[in-house]
A = this chain, B = another copy of it.
């Protein structure tokens, strides 16, 4: 449709608007949407939009209006008056309007809305009569003066607040609503006096003058410093300009044939396709939400005002069809006439989102791709974990980091041992921080609460892996493990007292909050079916033990992207062997200890491989510094000495020897395998033996991907690959079978990303370890960053916690560089990610765009990652189709 380029004012109202939804440049976003609504048959209060071109002219010509403007303007006012059956300044049925700015993009710094324009000493009484509520009319007038004076006359807001406070003090009341009509009359008088004193002029009484002044103020606000700065920062052109929207006010408190309400086209909690909402007769919109009167269910409107109800139902049905999504709407019925005040896409629970999306596909309203886009990946968490019963109100006494989702209730215990002892009761394990020793306690606890550490602290990572609720780094809590108590907000909680924690919000609550178990409905399965057909990225899971692998497989994981072999060593039966291996001095003694560990490792791998038959399993060689396996205190050294028969002095001296200032950057990862090649040999032997035995005895085929951690230099990788290949060849010869295996590396040291071309020459695959890559690229220790990261996010230095959502601008550049350099040498190099970011939707989308082959995440995040991966495909196809949502 061609636009009449000279037209300056666009009327909307009745059944047809002069503009339409595509004219955002000319009418601004708001004006175009109003026109669009009218054109789709929605009865909105009539009005008109003055174009952005007029604003441009106004700015360029010192506040003059273009030739011919006045007549278009007054024509539109007349049309509006006719459409609504009211007149500006009329003493019986006065027209009141709202005035709003409206640029192409919503923009802070622009002029606020002015409501009830058209009121003066006379029309206020007409409004009083008409509504039968003089207090309401006076209050509306008072608010109008204040708003108009602030934004149009530039009289300081605070001065009006002072007057209001003074009058309230004199009247000895606390709330605005406690003022009586006489008080409001005094306020109005004083407001007007203030305006006169400040501006030297009377407050304007003529509605047409009021309107012209408000219009010009909108235009001027385009060039106020705040708007100007905002545009510069967001690179928005200055000549885009703003439009002005003038719209008739309507009132739901004009008698018993008037009403006001809100609603949804479907149930936003359950997703059920039912008309949902509430309303009040003879009331203002504010009354519905204020809670003074109890609103009625919308279905009662059918009896009370059948015609209006039918119209409302038809309109909202059409709106849902038009916008192809659940609508959240506001309406007012003024003396029997229905007006829609707002309609927008409705917010909904994750549960509802899934149901609505699947239903709408069945109803042929949207495509499967649109359905996939309609569900927030992160929201799926609500479907996969227990939640607090939404009907129960509770008060949080402290808030930590929402480290692993779900809700949990239990008795407080302070040690892993106590958790295990009391495993028949429900317990919450509370620790300053957890360490690998705590695994068994974490396994039996309902949830974990720590007072230190961030979103990727040990507690958080392990809890997410287990799908267990965790609140981490709750610094408001002081734990006194020895005394067996903790202090929250001045209250002492003893061991055995109940607490509840919400790992989705970080809240900590005293006592027991009832929880609801998740139920995965059939709709969820349907949606995931579409998701899995759509996504290109493979989705694997991080899993260290067969149980986790099973969980992951249940959620649809296609292989294991990260098996952390060290977690196998913390088991009670194996830890002493591991410790012995570390404590002995000669290579021969180390070999002996490793020989004893070998059968355990082999069995672990067999278990994992069987769960994942047909898929690839990426096994990372030993990664943490060896001191993590040794005692932390002299007492623990004494105990260990009794257990393994090595002098406690030797144990403690070794512990001190192995102490590191920055273990994160210390003797770990492939540095262990390079300095103690026998460890790499043992682990390779265990992996290949497991694969050989499964193939021989059960004909189970699996492709082990042996992953060398912390490589920064191709020579490190070569050193380890040589050992692995030699050991694998030897082992296969022993078994007399051949298994396919790959040898690849983590890309987690910045130097590895920078020299990825060299590494790709010899590596079969890359797996980005973005936890460590983030730590090193940003210089943030994830265990320590909690001390400043909140300030950083408050100050907007980072938009999000870089350990949760990949820092695309920084770390992301290294990831892209690593991929490009790697593939420049080996075109089809297999590339994945196994950091915590593999379960974060935004980061998954980045991985898709960067061209990875797969992501790997904790078992419970597999569906989330799948959904994000599918969305990435659709977003890539054509972002414009969905961005308008």
Binding site for B on A (CB under 8 A): 660-667, 669, 671, 674-675, 710, 712-713, 715-716, 719, 748-751, 754-755, 758, 772, 775-781, 783-785, 787-788, 791-792, 795-798, 807, 809-811, 813-814
Contact partner, A662, options B784, B795, B813, Cβ 8 Å? B784
Q: Are A754 and B810 within 8 A (Cβ)? A: yes
Residues of B contacting A809 in the complex (Cβ-Cβ under 8 angstroms): 755, 758
- Not counting A674-B792, A750-B776, a sample of 18 additional A-B residue pairs whose C-beta atoms are within 8 angstroms of each other reads A660-B781, A661-B663, A661-B783, A662-B662, A662-B783, A663-B784, A664-B664, A665-B780, A675-B791, A712-B810, A713-B778, A713-B810, A749-B778, A750-B779, A751-B778, A754-B810, A754-B814, A772-B779
A665 to B750, CA, bound (A): 14
Residues of B contacting A675 in the complex (Cβ-Cβ under 8 angstroms): 787-788, 791
A775 to B666, CA, bound (A): 10
Q: Are A788 and B749 within 8 A (Cβ)? A: no
A675 to B814, CA, bound (A): 28
Give the shortest distance, in Å, between A480 (CB) and chain B (any CB).
12
Give the shortest distance, in Å, between A798 (CB) and chain B (any CB).
7
Q: Are B715 and A795 within 8 A (Cβ)? A: yes
Known: A749-B777, A754-B810. A674 touches B788 (CB 8 A): yes
A475 to B675, CA, bound (A): 17
The 5 A-B residue pairs with the shortest CB-CB distance, nearest first, are: A665-B781, A662-B781, A751-B810, A666-B784, A715-B797
Residues of B contacting A665 in the complex (Cβ-Cβ under 8 angstroms): 662, 664-665, 775-776, 779-781, 784-785
Q: Are B791 and A674 within 8 A (Cβ)? A: yes
Residues of B contacting A713 in the complex (Cβ-Cβ under 8 angstroms): 778, 797-798, 810
A754 to B667, CA, bound (A): 26
Interface centre among A665, A671, A748, A791 (most CB of B within 10 A): A665
Residues of B contacting A669 in the complex (Cβ-Cβ under 8 angstroms): 779
What is the chain B residue whose CB lies nearest that of A748? B779
Known: A674-B788, A719-B797, A811-B751. A778 touches B664 (CB 8 A): no
Interface centre among A661, A758, A775, A811 (most CB of B within 10 A): A661
Chain copies in complex: 2
A777 to B667, CA, bound (A): 15
Interface centre among A755, A758, A777, A791 (most CB of B within 10 A): A777
What is the chain B residue whose CB lies nearest that of A669? B779
A421 to B660, CA, bound (A): 32
A500 to B267, CA, bound (A): 85
Residues of B contacting A749 in the complex (Cβ-Cβ under 8 angstroms): 777-779
Give the shortest distance, in Å, between A462 (CB) and chain B (any CB).
16
A660 to B775, CA, bound (A): 14
Q: Are A710 and B751 within 8 A (Cβ)? A: no
What is the chain B residue whose CB lies nearest that of A625? B784
Interface centre among A712, A795, A809 (most CB of B within 10 A): A712
Give the shortest distance, in Å, between A62 (CB) and chain B (any CB).
35
Residues of B contacting A787 in the complex (Cβ-Cβ under 8 angstroms): 660, 666-667, 675
Q: Are B754 and A712 within 8 A (Cβ)? A: no
Known: A713-B797, A795-B674, A797-B716. A751 touches B772 (CB 8 A): no
Q: Are A754 and B777 within 8 A (Cβ)? A: yes
What is the chain B residue whose CB lies nearest that of A432? B656
A772 to B662, CA, bound (A): 13
Contact partner, A755, options B748, B750, B751, B810, Cβ 8 Å? B810
Give the shortest distance, in Å, between A391 (CB) and chain B (any CB).
40
A809 to B715, CA, bound (A): 13
A750 to B791, CA, bound (A): 22
Q: Are A796 and B754 within 8 A (Cβ)? A: no
A780 to B781, CA, bound (A): 14
Residues of B contacting A796 in the complex (Cβ-Cβ under 8 angstroms): 715
Q: Are B784 and A667 within 8 A (Cβ)? A: yes
Residues of B contacting A775 in the complex (Cβ-Cβ under 8 angstroms): 665
Residues of B contacting A719 in the complex (Cβ-Cβ under 8 angstroms): 795, 797
Interface centre among A662, A664, A787, A810 (most CB of B within 10 A): A662
Contact partner, A666, options B751, B754, B758, B781, Cβ 8 Å? B781
What is the chain B residue whose CB lies nearest that of A668? B779
Known: A715-B796, A797-B674. A779 touches B667 (CB 8 A): no
Give the shortest distance, in Å, between A404 (CB) and chain B (any CB).
20
Give the shortest distance, in Å, between A331 (CB) and chain B (any CB).
45
Residues of B contacting A716 in the complex (Cβ-Cβ under 8 angstroms): 797
Residues of B contacting A751 in the complex (Cβ-Cβ under 8 angstroms): 777-779, 807, 810-811
Residues of B contacting A797 in the complex (Cβ-Cβ under 8 angstroms): 674, 713, 715-716, 719
Q: Are A712 and B666 within 8 A (Cβ)? A: no
What is the chain B residue whose CB lies nearest that of A710? B779
Give the shortest distance, in Å, between A649 (CB) and chain B (any CB).
13
Contact partner, A779, options B712, B785, B795, B814, Cβ 8 Å? B712
Residues of B contacting A758 in the complex (Cβ-Cβ under 8 angstroms): 809
A813 to B674, CA, bound (A): 25
Q: List 6 A-B contacts (CB under 8 A).
A: A661-B781, A662-B781, A666-B785, A674-B788, A751-B778, A755-B813
Residues of B contacting A781 in the complex (Cβ-Cβ under 8 angstroms): 660-662, 664-666
What is the chain B residue whose CB lies nearest that of A790? B675
Residues of B contacting A780 in the complex (Cβ-Cβ under 8 angstroms): 665
Known: A751-B777, A754-B814, A778-B712. A784 touches B674 (CB 8 A): no
A712 to B783, CA, bound (A): 18
Contact partner, A667, options B662, B663, B666, B788, Cβ 8 Å? B788
What is the chain B residue whose CB lies nearest that of A658? B787
Residues of B contacting A660 in the complex (Cβ-Cβ under 8 angstroms): 781, 783-784, 787
Give the shortest distance, in Å, between A255 (CB) and chain B (any CB).
57
A144 to B633, CA, bound (A): 67
A513 to B775, CA, bound (A): 48
Give the shortest distance, in Å, between A716 (CB) and chain B (any CB).
6
Residues of B contacting A783 in the complex (Cβ-Cβ under 8 angstroms): 660-662
Interface centre among A671, A674, A748, A814 (most CB of B within 10 A): A671
A674 to B790, CA, bound (A): 11
Residues of B contacting A791 in the complex (Cβ-Cβ under 8 angstroms): 674-675
Residues of B contacting A772 in the complex (Cβ-Cβ under 8 angstroms): 779
Q: Are A754 and B813 within 8 A (Cβ)? A: yes
Give the shortest distance, in Å, between A381 (CB) and chain B (any CB).
28
A798 to B660, CA, bound (A): 22
A749 to B791, CA, bound (A): 19
